Structure 1
Amino acid sequence: MSNENPLSASCPPELRFAVAAYLGGRRIDAVVSRELRNHTRFRIHRLVRAGAVRIDGQVADIRQRVYPGQLVSVRLLEPPDKLLRATPATLEVVYEDQWLVAVNKPSGMIIHPAEVDRADTLVNALQWHLDQTAVAVGLLRPGIVHRLDRDTSGVVVATKDHLSHRRLSIGFQERTIRKTYLAVVEGHPAKDDGTIDTPLGQVTDPESHLVSAADDAINPRPARTDYSVIEKFDGWSVIEARPLTGRLHQIRVHFASIGHPLLGDPFYGPHGEIRRDRNGTLLVDPPADPPWPVIDRHALHARSLSFEHPITGHPLTVESPLPEDLSQMLVDARR
């Protein structure tokens, strides 16, 4: 067995970065922890005390504070100690640079693991993807700034560094990021272009995760969705939805509230009808012979995100092509 000290490895990979303006005046360990998101603070303390962290070329002290523009280098003498499980998976990458990666999430995939030992989520696949090009396994940790429901397909953007994560998170909070979805709904909305401006809250069952647009919803919050009807078929419509807010199940509940639930939605029926309870038990029988196509998930796809690049400042739009189930549905309907 080797007795080599883990902090004495030769020629370890090195991370270099400049201190961002908003981090000025903070301690070096706090700043490094934002760059090494897969390392605990304890491990970062070990790196600093071992002389592996330098500020403008000088060995850093654990109590030292840093200021905007200073150059920090970290010799990665130890592996990450809170590493996400990296799972090899085929990801359709629609955009990537040194700060961001955007992928086309398939329906049925969860964004982030709820349990520690789960490894089949988008984040696990992204960790594997980032590890393929990083100078060290676990150096980059995918930062999730927005989410899609399990059965919603479409574009998801993840960040590779703390500054991009911070700026995109602020963009979502301040609603400066334009989100566009394609939804397929039952029936034909009364207006081809409109706005659904109805607060959303929790259904009256406090243990349920379901959402309601009804007056008795618990803790309602403002929610707005602009939309345009793109195409009409016999008994159903294709919609471009542009949510200005980002509430849970917003598009699904908003269209259900005006009598046009999404095709395939197992939970939300017209005008506030709940089709299944929180345990998945069927409460309302589906239509016996609907005029719309049958699909085995709710018909919602995140088509694009448009925003100012968090580092370069240039306008950026990332788009996701329609998945096979929705594209084939439209091909068949147009014949």
Structure 2
Amino acid sequence: MEWREFTLTENDAGRRLDVILRHLDAARGLSGLFAAIRKGLIRLNGKKARPDSRVNPGDTLSIAAFLLDPSDPSDPAHPQAGQQSGAPAEIRRPDSTSGAPAASGPVSSPPQAGTTAPEATPSEAPAGAPPVPVLFESDHLIAVLKPPGMLVHDGPASLEARLRPYLQERIPPSVSFRPGPLHRLDRNTSGIVCFSKSLAGARWFTESLQQNRIAKYYLAVLEGELPPGYHEIWLDTLERRHHSTSLSTAGQAAETHICRLGTASRYQLPGLHTMTGVRIVTGRTHQIRAQAAGHGHPVLGDAKYGSRISGLGRGLLLHAAALVLPAWEYGEKHLIQAPLPRRWYRLLQLQHDQPTAVAVSSRTGTGYRVRRPQSVPAPRDTESRDPWLDRVMQDLILI
């Protein structure tokens, strides 16, 4: 009997044997998989193993060849079973196994404050270059800038599909690990999306999100004008129904911190709108869009949630502008920033509230101004107010 062997790596470590095998599509279904393990057609380090066995780096996984290739005549169920086989069948591995070892080098720095993000044009990326701007990269994570109008996953034109070849060249081979998005953005929202480059990175990011240790900041232009000094915590209950989310008395709790940063107006058109900095503490579907609409100020251009403003082109005026990662391999908290897309400046005339202080960021070493309105009403619970909100947002929108 012909066998195929795989050496397991750090990106497979700790997973159950049956989970590894499902990624390989071995044994044609779950029942066939368990039967193959029981019959000794799948072995770990040359010995029979249980489906729930945990694998370690360096383990050798041996699989009967016909389990990986249904056309292999050595399969007892194959019509030509027992006849002389030809050339060995090619091993069917997941896409990520073609990756090369991770490249070493300095971590990409966040863009400087006061710059605008280049418009992402994935189809025009040169060979070997990422299809979208990279904002941060380490051996475990990569943060990229998603343009409006692009799905994060699902389909050949998604961000995940476009980024996959770039990532496969930068991760070590693995039987079961595939790099993928660690969170989502709505199709018409621009900004930061993080992808895993290792199993350890995926587990760390997911656990940090679940424990609310990753802070997500957005820039949003809301329809109408919020008063100067507006800094509130929206505590609402959201209900998801028929592909939209709305405020309700029943549903899931949603917490959003929002502060006014300035005003925005469309060139040569009447009406004044509000540039806001937003932090979401919970992660409900369409949370910012639904809460903004429920509080009477929908995101500009968001017709689904009641915006009356049209003619803004592709995408909402909602931008995932910053992530603050907790300490891990980065030492102190790490700030990842995505400057405003150029289209915002083409569409809007932005007027920021008066700056009152100048400071230096210890995270990036770059100067920024902390703008605070002349009078900020004291929040009901001062302990829950986010001290980063003004600072992080104002760092991004320097004139």
Q: TM-score w.r.t. structure 2 length?
A: 0.59
Matched residue, 1:147:
184
Matched residue, 2:84:
none
SS of 1:91 mapped into structure 2: coil
Report whether the alignment pairs 1:72 with 2:58.
Answer: yes
Shift of 1:128: 1.4
Any conservation in 2 of the 1:180–1:242 contact (CA below 8 Å)?
yes
Any conservation in 2 of the 1:183–1:299 contact (CA below 8 Å)?
yes
Shift of 1:304: 1.1
Partner amino acid, structure 1, of 2:262 = E
Matched residue, 1:326:
344
Residues 74-223 of structure 1: pairs in structure 2 closer than 5 A = 78-81=91-94, 90-113=131-154, 118-136=155-173, 140-190=177-227, 192-203=230-241, 208-215=242-249, 219-223=250-254
Partner amino acid, structure 2, of 1:307 = L
CA distance in 2, matches of 1:19, 1:137: 7
Partner amino acid, structure 2, of 1:91 = V
Any conservation in 2 of the 1:306–1:315 contact (CA below 8 Å)?
yes
CA distance in 2, matches of 1:7, 1:308: 41
Choose which of 312, 315, 319 in structure 2 pairs with 1:297. Answer: 315
Matched residue, 2:356:
none
In the alignment, structure 2 segments of 5+ residues that lack a partner are: 63-89, 100-121, 126-130, 266-271, 352-398
SS of 1:194 mapped into structure 2: strand
CA distance in 1, matches of 2:274, 2:215: 22
Any conservation in 1 of the 2:8–2:57 contact (CA below 8 Å)?
no
CA distance in 1, matches of 2:91, 2:331: 34
Instruction: Identify if the C-alpha distance between structure 1 residues 333 and 316 changes in structure 2 by more than 3 Å, giving closer, same or farther.
Output: closer
Q: TM-score w.r.t. structure 1 length?
A: 0.69
SS of 1:201 mapped into structure 2: strand
Matched residue, 1:7:
4
Instruction: Identify if the C-alpha distance between structure 1 residues 41 and 319 changes in structure 2 by more than 3 Å, giving closer, same or farther.
Output: farther
Matched residue, 1:226:
257
Report whether the alignment pairs 1:259 with 2:318.
Answer: no
Any conservation in 2 of the 1:213–1:253 contact (CA below 8 Å)?
yes
Q: Deviations over 1:179-201 (max 9, x none)?
A: 00000111122452111111111
Instruction: Identify if the C-alpha distance between structure 1 residues 151 and 6 changes in structure 2 by more than 3 Å, giving closer, same or farther.
Output: farther
SS of 2:279 mapped into structure 1: strand
CA distance in 2, matches of 1:74, 1:328: 57
Any conservation in 2 of the 1:17–1:73 contact (CA below 8 Å)?
no
Partner amino acid, structure 2, of 1:213 = L
Deviates more, 1:297-306 or 1:311-320: 311-320
Partner amino acid, structure 1, of 2:346 = Q
Report whether the alignment pairs 1:63 with 2:76.
Answer: no
Matched residue, 2:10:
17
Partner amino acid, structure 2, of 1:80 = R
Shift of 1:306: 1.1
Any conservation in 2 of the 1:19–1:72 contact (CA below 8 Å)?
no
Any conservation in 2 of the 1:16–1:74 contact (CA below 8 Å)?
no
Matched residue, 1:281:
none
Partner amino acid, structure 2, of 1:300 = L
SS of 2:319 mapped into structure 1: strand
Any conservation in 2 of the 1:309–1:315 contact (CA below 8 Å)?
yes
Shift of 1:312: 6.0
Any conservation in 2 of the 1:180–1:240 contact (CA below 8 Å)?
yes
Shift of 1:311: 5.7
Percent of aligned positions that are identical:
27
CA distance in 1, matches of 2:42, 2:51: 15
CA distance in 1, matches of 2:49, 2:292: 54
Shift of 1:167: 2.4
Any conservation in 1 of the 2:189–2:316 contact (CA below 8 Å)?
yes
Matched residue, 1:241:
278
Any conservation in 2 of the 1:38–1:141 contact (CA below 8 Å)?
no
Deviates more, 1:240-249 or 1:94-103: 94-103
Residues 31-46 of structure 1: pairs in structure 2 closer than 5 A = 32=20, 38-40=23-25, 42=27
Any conservation in 2 of the 1:164–1:311 contact (CA below 8 Å)?
no
Any conservation in 2 of the 1:92–1:103 contact (CA below 8 Å)?
yes
SS of 1:230 mapped into structure 2: strand
SS of 1:198 mapped into structure 2: strand
Shift of 1:301: 0.4
Deviates more, 1:74-83 or 1:127-136: 74-83
CA distance in 1, matches of 2:190, 2:286: 13
CA distance in 2, matches of 1:138, 1:18: 8
Partner amino acid, structure 1, of 2:344 = L
Shift of 1:63: 3.0
